[in-house]
């Protein structure tokens, strides 16, 4: 979509002050957590020792065994088919001239942030395989109609319409088209929208709605993306119970049993607040994690630092020794200004590209907690 002055009046001098208020954003959480980063443009093979034969005591003048063996394996990162995160934003030169802010610098910074956020989500929860986007529409009106939008709005849909009626309305949008979205659900919803066809295996902007709410339950991904931390093979699993702090100790116990010293929790914000609300007893008003309500927030659970991130869904947490997480970096988010490519339209393009991969040196050093 091309940005224009008409579509962005909030950026013009007669509409806003010189201060640009950006959306509240979470900071990068994975790359700053103590992971090991390897810079590489090609396939990276990290050898690791998986097993050694036992050794014993040998007496004076006795034969020393010479059959000791080591077993080796390797972690392979950045295969040639690993895809990059890429995006191009276009805007008109009129917008660049009329905006009181430096629109090129603003869009550049914003795109780098958006791409970095996408990278964080992939490093934590990426599936690493082709996945279709799934969104759920819940009707909030008890009568009349509702509408759904995707860069354009559908015609009115009855509040108790069949799923087929909503599917027809969505496919009638030029931005979606025939065969690119299917809808399931009972009359009146909730409706489950699965993007397919030309919109399959890709991240799709969340639908807009009037008279209904929309939530994304499964984010679309292309094949050969990053397999995130919670989906890595060989990780340990445990139960997350935000009503009982013992579940956290159980996860720590699993780490200790594997001779792992964890140094980081990754917890969803809702779950972390639920844990902070725990009291010492049912009839007590004294908080378990922070007894002094006048002190600052304690971002530690049983002595281990906590990174709060909503890039993990509610009911999912990770305990890890982050030094056992290997990140292969081909290209940090880099920006290229395309000043000539769209010259026929008197437009400027900004391209942002980044390419990373993730693997585990010792999978048992990661414990993934899931609510029951």
What pLDDT, on the 0 to 100 scale, is given for residue 49?
82
CA distance 320 to 228: 13
Instruction: State pLDDT tens for residues 95-125.
Output: 888 876 777 777 777 877 888 889 999 999 9
User: Which secondary structure element, helix H or strand E, spans residue 249, and what is its range?
Assistant: helix 246-257
Cα gap 262→260, rounded to integer Å: 6
What is the distance between the alpha carbons of residues 75 and 124, in angstroms, rounded to a whole number?
18
pLDDT for 20 equals 38
What share of the chain in percent tops pLDDT 90?
Answer: 67
Q: Which CATH class is domain 229-327+362-371?
A: alpha beta
Q: How confident is residue 7, by pLDDT bands cut at 50, 70 and 90?
A: low
Full DSSP string of 111-179 = HHHHHHHHHHHHHHH-BSS-B--EEEEEE--SSSEEEEESSSBPPPEETT--HHHHHHHHHTSTTT-TT
Token pair in block for residue 330:
């081909």
Lookup: tokens for 237 = 């699993």
pLDDT of residue 18: 39
pLDDT of residue 298: 72
Give 16-56 pLDDT, tens digit per residue: 333 334 444 445 789 989 999 999 989 999 988 888 999 99
pLDDT at 207: 97
- 153 vs 6, residue with greater confidence: 153
Q: What is the pLDDT of residue 27?
A: 53
What are the C-alpha distances in Å from 228 to residues 98, 126, 167, 235?
42, 4, 32, 11
Q: What is the pLDDT of residues 153-206, one digit of tens each?
A: 999 999 999 999 999 999 999 999 999 999 999 999 999 999 999 999 999 999
Q: Which two tokens stand for residue 129?
A: 């395989």
Q: Quick one: pLDDT at residue 353?
A: 87
What are the pLDDT digits (tens) for 333-344? 788 888 889 999
CB 95 within 8 A of CB 63: no
- For residue range 228-277, what is the model confidence (pLDDT) as tens digits? 999 999 999 999 999 999 999 999 999 999 999 999 999 999 999 999 89
- pLDDT of 11: 46
Would you state the pLDDT for residue 9?
Answer: 54
Question: What's the average model confidence in pLDDT over 134-152?
Answer: 95
Q: Indicate if the pLDDT at residue 76 is higher than 50.
A: yes
Length of the chain: 372
Confidence of residue 6 (pLDDT cuts 50, 70, 90): low
Least confident of 70-84, 280-294, 358-372: 280-294
Please indicate whether residue 352 or residue 318 has the higher confidence score (pLDDT): 318
Question: What residue ranges in the chain does DSSP mark as E strands?
Answer: 2-3, 36-39, 44-52, 70-77, 85-92, 134-139, 145-149, 157-158, 181-184, 191-195, 208-210, 212-218, 236-240, 264-267, 300-301, 304-308, 316-320, 325-338, 347-360, 366-371
CA distance 2 to 297: 43
Residue 35 has a pLDDT of 94
Pick the range with the lowest mean pLDDT from 66-80, 181-195, 286-300, 335-349: 286-300
Identify the pLDDT of residue 339: 84
Average pLDDT, the chain: 89
Residues near 257 by beta carbon (within 8 Å), at least 6 away in sequence? none
In this prediction, residues 62-66 reach a mean pLDDT of 93
User: Which DSSP letter does residue 22 get?
Assistant: P
Domain ranges for the chain: 2-28+84-127+331-355, 134-218, 229-327+362-371
The predicted model scores a pTM of: 0.83
| Tokens of residue 91, six digits | 């805007």
pLDDT value at 326 more than 80: yes
pLDDT > 70 in the chain, percent: 91
Predicted pLDDT of residue 14: 47
């Amino acid at each position: 979509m091309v940005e224009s002055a008409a579509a962005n009046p909030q950026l013009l001098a007669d509409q806003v002050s010189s201060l640009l208020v950006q959306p509240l954003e979470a900071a990068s959480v994975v790359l700053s957590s103590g992971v090991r980063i390897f810079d590489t443009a090609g396939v990276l093979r990290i050898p690791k020792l998986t097993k050694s034969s036992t050794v014993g005591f040998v007496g004076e003048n006795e034969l020393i065994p010479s059959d000791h063996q080591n077993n080796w394996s390797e972690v392979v990162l950045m295969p040639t088919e690993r895809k990059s995160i890429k995006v191009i934003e276009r805007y008109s030169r009129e917008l660049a001239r009329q905006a009181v802010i430096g629109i090129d610098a603003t869009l550049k910074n914003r795109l780098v942030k958006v791409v970095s956020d996408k990278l964080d989500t992939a490093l934590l929860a990426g599936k690493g395989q082709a996945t279709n986007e799934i969104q759920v529409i819940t009707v909030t009106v008890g009568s009349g109609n509702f509408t759904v939008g995707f860069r354009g709005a559908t015609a009115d849909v009855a509040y108790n319409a069949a799923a087929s009626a909503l599917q027809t309305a969505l496919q009638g949008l030029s931005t979606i088209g025939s065969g690119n979205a299917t809808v399931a659900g009972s009359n009146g919803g909730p409706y489950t929208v699965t993007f397919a066809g030309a919109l399959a295996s890709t991240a799709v902007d969340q639908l807009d709605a009037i008279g209904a709410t929309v939530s994304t339950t499964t984010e679309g991904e292309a094949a050969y993306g990053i397999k995130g931390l919670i989906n890595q093979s060989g990780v340990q699993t445990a139960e997350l119970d935000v009503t009982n702090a013992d579940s956290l100790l159980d996860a720590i116990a699993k780490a200790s049993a594997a001779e792992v010293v964890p140094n980081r929790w990754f917890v969803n914000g809702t779950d972390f607040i639920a844990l902070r609300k725990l009291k010492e007893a049912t009839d007590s008003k004294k908080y378990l994690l922070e007894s002094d309500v006048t002190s600052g927030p304690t971002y530690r659970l049983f002595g281990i630092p906590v990174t709060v991130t909503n890039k993990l869904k509610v009911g999912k947490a990770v305990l890890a020794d982050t030094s056992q997480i290997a990140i292969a970096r081909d290209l940090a988010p880099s920006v290229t200004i395309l000043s000539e490519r769209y010259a026929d339209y008197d437009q400027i393009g900004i391209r942002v590209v980044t390419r990373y991969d993730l693997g585990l040196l010792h999978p048992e050093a990661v414990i993934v907690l899931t609510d029951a």
